[in-house]
Amino acid sequence: MTTQHQGFSAEVARARTIRYTWWLAALAVIVVISTVRLYTGADRITAPGTLRAAIIGACPILLAGLGGLWAERAGIVNIGLEGQMLLGTWGAAFFAYHYGPLAGVLGAALMGLLGGLLHAIATVSFGVDHIISGVAINIVGLGAIGFLAKTTFDDLEGGGPRNLSGYSTPPEFTVPLVADGARSLADRNWFIISDVAGAIAGVTTRLSLLTVLTFVLVGVTAWVLWRTSFGLRLRSCGENPQAAETLGIDVYRYKYVAVLISGAFAGLGGAYLAMVASSSFTVGQTGGRGYIGLAAMIFGNWRPSGVLTGSLMFGYTDGISLLSNSGVLVHALLLLVAIGLAVFAVLKLRAAEKITAAVMAGLSIGAFVWYFSSDSVNTSFTGMTPYVVTLFVLAVFSQRLRMPAADGQQYRRGGAG
Amino acid sequence: MSEREKAPAGGSATPAARRIAGSVVSGLLPPLVAVVAAMLATSVLIAAFGGSPGDFLQVIFSVPNDRVLLTIINQSAMLSISGIAAAIGFRMGLFNIGVEGQYIVGSCAGAFFAGSGLVAGPLNILATLVVAALAGAAYASIAGLLKVFRGVSEVISAIMLNYIALTMAGYLVTKYGQASGYTFTTERLPLDAQPLGFKIFADAPGDVWALSSLALILGIGYWFLIARTRFGFELRVTGASSTAALASGVNVKRMTLITMALSGAVAGLVWMPAYFGSVHTFGVPENFQAGLGFLGLAVALLGRNRTLGIFFAAALFAFLSGQSNNLQSAGIAKDVIDITQGTTVLAVVVAYEVVGRRRARSEAERVSRQLEAERAEVVAS
């Protein structure tokens, strides 16, 4: 009894240590960022405006990533996120123009859901290869909104054959006191304090309700998938559908629900692009963010907190590429990347993974050389960041990543036993 | 299906003939059904939004004029090459979704090389093709290496590589190309390396590009490689079952690397007909045709990875795209043809799946009937 008790308290202590380590790591990251900011003089790294742009860049990616998470947790790979997002942009513009912003958001989710339904019918009911169906949906999605825009927006005021503006968007609000206080602190350029204040000011200024909804949905996703029996059953369909079937779970139904939710999330991502990131609709304005969402999900190891981290990181690079004269800013970030890689190299060396450590160290040196031999980085490279980072993570940490065991596999009812 | 039932009624048909007839039906019926279903779905959508499906069908099925006909021929050549690139992967169970990225890289490298005029005269064409193919192969090999040595899914890495390719090409052209108006392009192809096209009919408004013939050459080469060589056999075996291939001495890892590189090499050539035929320079997005890679996947699927099937599917897709240019006059956005193409792919894979399941079931039934009959015989004796 005593040993058991001791084992339990040791576990609690270890959990506490892990949490403590995380906080310490977060603090270290902030210190490094702040130091880099002071050293390079690129104060805009943590300026409220930059972080606001980062949040706006992150949200569509986050919604797409969560959409991918829902589908893949039930074992369906959803490459069609891009197409479903595109459908969402049209849905948002159309319904918001005619019936107001709330209808716009719902309409976008509905259009995404329709795209998801198509994917579910093909992959779940007919057992079609998930990737093929996704590619087809992306082709159909782009064609559909091109057709729909010409048909429904051409004659409207503020509309054209490929665009629409002049619809109302979800309300924005600024948190009183906090936003102003944080902003004035951020302007002082103090070590650490101003960086944290910049982040707070960026988050609390002109905050769209849709942004709030996005972050709430992260929590909802995590809670539903990991804390409810519905979520457990849904995930069991992604891990071992045959076993789930023997336990009496209607696997088809769970897969359908998951893919429909996935499509709706992607549609919301489209709404965010057409209503918050910009206030007008253009054909093809997703620019591959569905795929970046997929990348964020893989980067995040198929977990909501990971998707959030990945989206914020990718959103930051996406957001700053829109700022003026961002080459200098990206150049400063290069130093950050170099330091980060060096830290990883040391960690890997301590874990006795010599080859990985050597590769990391090499890349780190390369980044340092690049940093000190140039004054500015072409913004093309910023847009590329999510893809390069994901490739890098896949190549280096592929052993650490764990996707749902039956992800992407065909499942047919009655296959068990 | 109906022909298969009719054959035994004729009495004279041998089992072999019946099997051939059956496979013809099950091979041709799904694409046909898919195309019809896709046209129907598109028409319904047009009608739902107050358009006239009659106008749509009339425009699509009108006789193409000379200019459109040329476009169709040239586009189907490029789509065929793209389809062959995808098919090489498919036959081995590799989903090379990176055809898009590989042909961007191949086009960019090829255009830079050809424009530089390092090799003088017509030999430049040959050298450029080699460069483009090598660039595509090298780029595809990144995904291949990641799959073999790090276990990374080729689909995921190729999606990332597609975007990196597009951005890198844009960057390289801006950095090392020349300004033309507001955009940047590679140096123009020297005149002595511009091949003459084929004039297929008198006073035609343009040519069939010389390098469109590349599609025929690659198509025949693909057939020969897959059907007549040991490499092709091993490739198909690995596609059917990689564990069985491994057990019978095929080096699956090596096969994966070679197949990926081969697929990428063909992908690198996709845009070459257009480059040498009419564009003569490369620059994104104005002087380039993006999207052929994804359509190539669709063409390979529709054509069941067979040479003739790919040619047919490419011609169909090129026909639809070519005819859609006239839709504007009927007041319908030409984008609508993307819906038809996407739905065709979706419908054809569903149809193959259904046919496959039905065949598996009927085969299982036949076997069990036979077993039952044999058992009855044993009992009777």
Which of A282-286, A339-343, A361-365, B15-19 comes out lowest in average pLDDT?
B15-19
User: Is A150 within 8 Å of B332 when comparing Cβ atoms?
Assistant: yes
Is A365 a member of any domain?
no
Cβ contacts below 8 Å, chain A against chain B, sum to 144
Question: Smallest Cβ distance to B164: which of A118, A141, A384?
Answer: A384
Mean pLDDT along residues B310-323: 95
Mean pLDDT along residues B336-359: 91
Indicate whether A268 pLDDT > 50: yes
Confidence of residue A7 (pLDDT cuts 50, 70, 90): low
Mean pLDDT along residues A64-84: 96
Residues 43-102 in A contacting B (C-alpha not used; CB under 8 Å): 79
Question: Smallest Cβ distance to A394: which of B157, B294, B340?
Answer: B157
| Region of A256 on the Ramachandran plot (φ > 0 left; ψ -120 to 50 alpha; else beta) | alpha
User: Is A140 within 8 Å of B338 when comparing Cβ atoms?
Assistant: yes
CA B339-B140-B349 angle, to 5 degrees, is 35
Question: What is the Cα–Cα distance from A36 to A332, expressed in whole angstroms?
Answer: 7
Is A383 a member of any domain?
no
- How far off is chain A from B333, nearest CA to CA, in Å? 5
Question: In the numeric block, which tokens belong to residue A364?
Answer: 């780190």
Chain A's closest residue to B164, CA to CA, is A384
Query: Which residues contact residue A110 at a Cβ distance below 8 angstroms, ignoring those fewer than 6 apart?
Result: A91, A264, A267
Q: Report which secondary-structure segment, H or E, holds A263.
A: helix A251-272
Question: Smallest Cβ distance to A122: which of B174, B297, B350?
Answer: B350
Exposure class string for A260-296: b at 16+ Cβ within 10 A, else e: bbbbbbbbbbbbbbbbbbeebbbbebbebbbbbbbbb
Residue A5 CA: distances (Å) to CA of A11, A12, A17, B155: 10, 11, 18, 48
Q: Using omega within 30 degrees of 0 as the cis cutoff, is the peptide bond preceding B285 cis? A: yes
User: Is B345 within 8 Å of A378 when comparing Cβ atoms?
Assistant: no
Query: Which residues contact residue A370 at a Cβ distance below 8 angstroms, ignoring those fewer than 6 apart?
Result: A334, A338, A377
A380 reaches B (C-beta below 8 A): yes
Question: Smallest Cβ distance to B146: which of A142, A149, A395?
Answer: A395
User: Is A144 within 8 Å of B168 when comparing Cβ atoms?
Assistant: no
Mean pLDDT along residues A76-99: 96
- Strand A163-165 versus strand A280-282 pairing type: antiparallel
The confidence score (pLDDT) of residue A58 equals 95
Question: What is the Cα–Cα distance from B146 to B358, expressed in whole angstroms?
Answer: 38
Indicate whether B76 pLDDT > 50: yes
Amino acid at the residue A360: M
Amino acid at the residue B183: T
CA A158-A160-A164 angle, to 5 degrees, is 50
Exposure class string for A135-153: b at 16+ Cβ within 10 A, else e: bbbbbbbbbbbbbbbbbbb
Which of A293-297, A350-354, B335-339 comes out lowest in average pLDDT?
A350-354
The confidence score (pLDDT) of residue B359 equals 86
Confidence of residue B1 (pLDDT cuts 50, 70, 90): very low
- Say how many Å lie between the first and final Cα of chain B, rounded: 37
CA B261-B262-B264 angle, to 5 degrees, is 65
Confidence of residue B11 (pLDDT cuts 50, 70, 90): very low
Which of A135-144, A280-289, B6-15 comes out lowest in average pLDDT?
B6-15
Confidence of residue B8 (pLDDT cuts 50, 70, 90): very low
Confidence of residue B358 (pLDDT cuts 50, 70, 90): confident
Could you give phi then psi for residue B183, rounded to 5 degrees? -110, 170
The helix-helix angle for A354-372 and A326-350 (nearest 10°) equals 160
Could you give phi then psi for residue A172, rounded to 5 degrees? -110, 150
Residues 320-339 in B contacting A (C-alpha not used; CB under 8 Å): 332-339
Three-state helix/strand/coil letters over chain B: CHHHHHHHHHCCCCHHHHHHHHHHHHHHHHHHHHHHHHHHHHHHHHHHCCCCHHHHHHHHCCCCCHHHHHHHHHHHHHHHHHHHHHHHHHHCCCCCCCHHHHHHHHHHHHHHHHHHCCCCCCHHHHHHHHHHHHHHHHHHHHHHHHHHHHCCCHHHHHHHHHHHHHHHHHHHHHHHCEEECCEEECCCCCHHHCCCCECCCCCCCCCECHHHHHHHHHHHHHHHHHHHCHHHHHHHHHHHCHHHHHHCCCCHHHHHHHHHHHHHHHHHCCCHHHHHHHHCCCECCCECCCCHHHHHHHHHHHCCCCHHHHHHHHHHHHHHHHHHCCHHHHCCCCCHHHHHHHHHHHHHHHHHHHHHHHHHHHHHHHHHHHHHHHHHHHHHC
Question: Smallest Cβ distance to A383: which of B95, B167, B301?
Answer: B167
CATH number of the domain encompassing residue A237: 1.10.3470
- How far off is chain A from B364, nearest CA to CA, in Å? 16
Question: What is the Cα–Cα distance from A118 to A144, expressed in whole angstroms?
Answer: 13
Query: Which residues contact residue A207 at a Cβ distance below 8 angstroms, ignoring those fewer than 6 apart?
Result: A172, A173, A174, A175
CA B273 to chain centre: 15
User: Is A395 within 8 Å of B150 when comparing Cβ atoms?
Assistant: yes
Indicate whether A3 pLDDT > 60: no
Query: Considering its fold, how many domains does chain A have in total?
Result: 1
Indicate whether B269 pLDDT > 60: yes
* pLDDT tens for each residue of A128-142: 999 999 999 999 999
| Region of A280 on the Ramachandran plot (φ > 0 left; ψ -120 to 50 alpha; else beta) | beta
The confidence score (pLDDT) of residue A5 equals 59
Question: Smallest Cβ distance to B342: which of A128, A143, A161?
Answer: A143
User: Is A131 within 8 Å of B350 when comparing Cβ atoms?
Assistant: no
Is A280 a member of any domain?
yes
- How far off is chain B from A225, nearest CA to CA, in Å? 24
DSSP A382-413: HHHHHHHHHHHHHHHHTTT----TTTT----T
Confidence of residue B121 (pLDDT cuts 50, 70, 90): confident
Query: Which residues contact residue B264 at a Cβ distance below 8 angstroms, ignoring those fewer than 6 apart?
Result: B85, B96, B98, B102, B106, B136, B137, B138, B139, B140, B141
Question: In the numeric block, which tokens belong to residue A392?
Answer: 């890098």
A191 reaches B (C-beta below 8 A): no
Chain B's closest residue to A386, CA to CA, is B160
Chain B's closest residue to A135, CA to CA, is B294
Is A66 a member of any domain?
yes
Query: Which residues contact residue B62 at a Cβ distance below 8 angstroms, ignoring those fewer than 6 apart?
Result: B323, B326
- A contact test, residue of B79, B346, B355 with most A CBs within 10 A: B346
The confidence score (pLDDT) of residue A180 equals 84
Tokens 């140039």: give the residue. Answer: A374
A232 reaches B (C-beta below 8 A): no
Question: Smallest Cβ distance to A143: which of B46, B150, B335?
Answer: B335
Contact between residue B113 and residue B125 where contact means Cβ atoms under 8 Å apart:
no
Mean pLDDT along residues A138-147: 94
**How many CA atoms within 13 Å lie on the side-chain side of A322?**
16
The DSSP call for residue A170 is -
Confidence of residue B194 (pLDDT cuts 50, 70, 90): confident
Indicate whether B124 pLDDT > 80: yes
* pLDDT tens for each residue of B78-93: 999 999 999 999 999 9
Which of A40-49, A232-241, B139-148 comes out lowest in average pLDDT?
A40-49
The confidence score (pLDDT) of residue A357 equals 86
Residues of A in contact with B167 (CB under 8 A): 380-381, 383-384
Confidence of residue A6 (pLDDT cuts 50, 70, 90): low
Chain B's closest residue to A123, CA to CA, is B350
Question: What is the Cα–Cα distance from B362 to B343, expressed in whole angstroms?
Answer: 28
Nearest to B127 by CA among B112, B140, B139: B112
Residues of B in contact with A78 (CB under 8 A): none
Question: Smallest Cβ distance to A131: which of B49, B150, B155?
Answer: B155
Question: In the numeric block, which tokens belong to residue A234?
Answer: 């849904």
Chain B's closest residue to A299, CA to CA, is B156
B24 reaches A (C-beta below 8 A): no
Residues of B in contact with A148 (CB under 8 A): 49
Residues of A in contact with B97 (CB under 8 A): 131, 135
Question: In the numeric block, which tokens belong to residue A23?
Answer: 């906080």
The confidence score (pLDDT) of residue B7 equals 41
Confidence of residue B235 (pLDDT cuts 50, 70, 90): very high
- B contact test, residue of A135, A142, A282, A291 with most B CBs within 10 A: A135
Mean of the per-residue pLDDT values of chain A: 89
Of B367 and A348, which is predicted with more confidence?
Answer: B367
User: Is B157 within 8 Å of A378 when comparing Cβ atoms?
Assistant: no
Mean pLDDT along residues A200-228: 93
Question: What is the Cα–Cα distance from B157 to A206, expressed in whole angstroms?
Answer: 37
- B contact test, residue of A162, A391, A398, A399 with most B CBs within 10 A: A391
- A contact test, residue of B45, B160, B297, B339 with most A CBs within 10 A: B160
B155 reaches A (C-beta below 8 A): yes
Nearest to A291 by CA among A78, A105, A74, A118: A78
Parse chain B into domains and list their residue ranges.
Answer: 66-302
Which of A132-146, A257-271, A345-359, B51-65 comes out lowest in average pLDDT?
A345-359
Indicate whether B31 pLDDT > 50: yes
Question: What is the Cα–Cα distance from B178 to B283, expressed in whole angstroms?
Answer: 10
* pLDDT tens for each residue of B272-296: 999 999 899 998 888 899 889 999 9
- How far off is chain B from A24, nearest CA to CA, in Å? 31
Question: What is the Cα–Cα distance from A70 to A65, expressed in whole angstroms?
Answer: 9
- How far off is chain A from B240, nearest CA to CA, in Å? 15
Residues of A in contact with B150 (CB under 8 A): 394-395, 398
A376 reaches B (C-beta below 8 A): no
The confidence score (pLDDT) of residue B330 equals 83
Mean pLDDT along residues B67-76: 93
User: Is A398 within 8 Å of B45 when comparing Cβ atoms?
Assistant: no
- How far off is chain A from B283, nearest CA to CA, in Å? 15
Domain residues for A204? 49-321
Mean pLDDT along residues A375-387: 79
Of A274 and A9, which is predicted with more confidence?
Answer: A274
Question: Smallest Cβ distance to A147: which of B156, B161, B336?
Answer: B336
The confidence score (pLDDT) of residue A69 equals 97
Indicate whether A416 pLDDT > 80: no
Confidence of residue A122 (pLDDT cuts 50, 70, 90): very high
Tokens 């020297």: give the residue. Answer: B190
Question: In the numeric block, which tokens belong to residue B316?
Answer: 């169909």
The confidence score (pLDDT) of residue A413 equals 85
Confidence of residue B13 (pLDDT cuts 50, 70, 90): low
Mean pLDDT along residues B55-66: 90
